Structure 1
Amino acid sequence: MDSDARNRHASSFGAAANAYAAHRPDYAHDAIRWALEPAPGPRVLDLGAGTGKLTATLAAMDADVTAVEPDQAMLEELNTTLPEVTALSGSAEAIPLPDASVDAVLAGNAMHWFDMAVAGPEIARVLAPGGVLAGLWNTVDDGVDWVAGLAQTSGPAAIGPRDTPASWRTETANLHLLTSDAPVRFGSPEQSGFPHGQLRTADSLVATLGTRAGMLVMAEEERETILTRIRRYLATRPETSEGEFTLPMMTCVLRVRRL
């Protein structure tokens, strides 16, 4: 998408901050451990932290975490949920931290919104030598039959090209620092995926998909048409038609190390 469309999608979440906090999943602990494995220390920046889904897991894993988020409504949700965490207003393109002040920069379902031409040097600035940049994405496991049907039924606004494991690999392969003339160099990128899941009901899964950027920016009538179609599909599947079920997921990680 062009830059205007990207900005419109990226700024859509604040209006749904409460729903985002209520329905978006956390991240697989094994994925976070793998992301942080090469980091030289415990200081972690959660960049584009949203309502704190990744921040909360990092804090629970005893990381020394600082959160940075540009949207004030999302930041307020984060502060309400995690009052003990340092949370700052800022963006990937203007990080309000000193040089070499963190050992890892993590971004949960956010790196694809960054303008990496600007954000790349800024991330490099705040990373200590040997530090790690890692993006994490929660994807739905379309290797499971009913989840593949859900993806087909939902369409790209609700389950897009980064939202299934195989397509995620292709879509994120170039979301790292490639410029050979940058003053700070990064190593080769690595990708990996880790099993995850989220306990849902049909209603809460519909609500979760309704917080996707593609859904938030569309006209209300079109949005309701898609959500109704998803509800009907879930009602036809024995896995999802009654009570709670686990949505099969993968937390996928792209990491690269500052040299």
Structure 2
Amino acid sequence: MLEELRRLTESIAEMEVRRTRIISRLRREHAASWDEIGRACGMTRQGATRRWSRTLHAGSFGSAVGAYHRGRPPYPRSAVEWAVPRTARRVLDLGAGTGKLTELLVEAGLDVVAVEPSAEMRDQLAAVAPRAAIFEGTAEHIPLPGADVDAIVVAQAWHWVDPAQAVPEAARVLRPGGTLSLLWNVRDHTEEWVALLDGILHQHTRQEIDTNPVIGTPFAAPERTEIRWRHTLTRQALLDMVASRSYVIVLSEPERRDLLAAVEDLLGTHPALRGRDEITMPYVTRCTRAHLPH
């Protein structure tokens, strides 16, 4: 009976993967609403969105990888210095994306391993950080042996993971005394035009991200800091940043077109932006780190 149960569990898992792929395609092609998907799955619209929308948003970046790399900001070097202990030699960039952080880690002279689930992003990553060892994987299933790295840095990605699986997996691959650091670049809304921009971006959905997450055992209590800085980018790069947001990628084409038009209108009319090809975006990088016991 145990063998029968094991086979049944494997079959259910395979069918769930197939169901998620079908739902992903339906939403990507705008072929079904969440109401329709919910009814087909025997649940409410709210139940369907709770179960799958986060997964679909997390997997949406591959279709906009070029815009993602052009538009997303780097990270201040002071954040990297805070996140990675001076004694660290081998560092894992987990959820590395297109390599915005990976480049800085390599430039710091570290032995860098980068793990990223998206094949399209790994291709971009390999181009910008050829000296990093790059693997397919997730925070829940890291393709490294135990006690393999001195530090793990997760930049702009921890909000996509399941902490119940990711925390023990991070602890597994870290050496005793190792450090897990989480970074987020957040636009500084205290500047008026940035607040207006965010109002446009969140017309359809507001992505709430916990940038001060609980990590929990076996890690010690987390330390936190904020670093304020400014990033200069072109008007086109700002539009690429907008287009690469997960909640923008999954909009219908008319909604996406209207949103981008509203951003262009802001760029063309606001006194702080009008007539400028280069724009300075204020950011706050929110940092959390926690250490394993020795």
- Into which bin does the TM-score normalised by the smaller protein fall? 0.7 to 0.9
* 1:178 alignment counterpart: 216
Q: Are the aligned partners of 2:113 and 2:132 in contact in 1 as well (CA < 8 Å)? A: yes
What is the CA deviation profile of residues 185-214 of structure 1, one whole-angstrom value per residue up to 9, with x for unaligned ones? 111122211122222233321221110111
User: What CA distance in whole angstroms lies between the structure 1 residues aligned with 2:191 and 2:178?
Assistant: 36
Higher-Rg structure is: 2
User: What CA distance in whole angstroms lies between the structure 2 residues aligned with 1:157 and 1:88?
Assistant: 34
Q: Which of 42, 56, 79 is equivalent to 2:126?
A: 79
Counterpart check, 1:98 vs 2:145: yes
Q: Which amino acid aligns with 1:23?
A: G
Alignment of 1:63-78 (within 5 A): 63-78=110-125
Identify the structure with bigger relative contact order (alpha carbons < 8 Å, sequence gap 6+): 1
Scaled by the length of structure 2, the TM-score of the pair is 0.78
User: What CA distance in whole angstroms lies between the structure 2 residues aligned with 1:21 and 1:12?
Assistant: 14
Q: Which amino acid aligns with 2:174?
A: L
Q: Which of 253, 271, 287 is equivalent to 1:238?
A: 271
Cα–Cα, structure 1 residues 156 and 54, in superposed 2: closer, same or farther, change >3 Å?
farther
Query: Which structure features the higher share of helix residues?
Result: 2
Once the two structures are TM-superposed, the CA of residue 150 in structure 1 deviates from its matched residue by: 1.8
Q: Which amino acid aligns with 1:214?
A: Y
Task: Name the SS of the counterpart of 2:131 in structure 1.
Answer: coil
Q: Which amino acid aligns with 1:250?
A: V
Task: Name the SS of the counterpart of 1:238 in structure 2.
Answer: coil
User: What CA distance in whole angstroms lies between the structure 2 residues aligned with 1:228 and 1:219?
Assistant: 14
Q: Are the aligned partners of 1:157 and 1:212 in contact in 2 as well (CA < 8 Å)? A: no
Once the two structures are TM-superposed, the CA of residue 146 in structure 1 deviates from its matched residue by: 2.0
Q: Are the aligned partners of 1:49 and 1:107 in contact in 2 as well (CA < 8 Å)? A: yes
Once the two structures are TM-superposed, the CA of residue 63 in structure 1 deviates from its matched residue by: 2.0
Q: Are the aligned partners of 2:70 and 2:237 in contact in 1 as well (CA < 8 Å)? A: no
User: What CA distance in whole angstroms lies between the structure 1 residues aligned with 2:57 and 2:258?
Assistant: 20
User: What CA distance in whole angstroms lies between the structure 2 residues aligned with 1:98 and 1:250?
Assistant: 34
Q: Are the aligned partners of 1:197 and 1:246 in contact in 2 as well (CA < 8 Å)? A: yes
Scaled by the length of structure 1, the TM-score of the pair is 0.88
Once the two structures are TM-superposed, the CA of residue 143 in structure 1 deviates from its matched residue by: 1.6
Task: Name the SS of the counterpart of 1:2 in structure 2.
Answer: helix
Structure 1: stretches of 5+ with no match in the other structure: 163-170, 180-184
* 2:245 alignment counterpart: 212
Once the two structures are TM-superposed, the CA of residue 40 in structure 1 deviates from its matched residue by: 4.5
User: What CA distance in whole angstroms lies between the structure 2 residues aligned with 1:40 and 1:137?
Assistant: 23
Structure 2: stretches of 5+ with no match in the other structure: 1-48
Task: Name the SS of the counterpart of 1:98 in structure 2.
Answer: coil
Aligned residues: 244
Once the two structures are TM-superposed, the CA of residue 159 in structure 1 deviates from its matched residue by: 7.3
Percent identity, aligned pairs only, is 39
Cα–Cα, structure 1 residues 66 and 130, in superposed 2: closer, same or farther, change >3 Å?
same
Once the two structures are TM-superposed, the CA of residue 52 in structure 1 deviates from its matched residue by: 0.6
What is the CA deviation profile of residues 106-149 of structure 1, one whole-angstrom value per residue up to 9, with x for unaligned ones? 01100111111111111110011111111111111112222122
Task: Name the SS of the counterpart of 1:50 in structure 2.
Answer: coil
* 2:184 alignment counterpart: 137
Q: Are the aligned partners of 1:190 and 1:254 in contact in 2 as well (CA < 8 Å)? A: yes
User: What CA distance in whole angstroms lies between the structure 2 residues aligned with 1:159 and 1:140?
Assistant: 14
Q: Are the aligned partners of 2:106 and 2:131 in contact in 1 as well (CA < 8 Å)? A: no
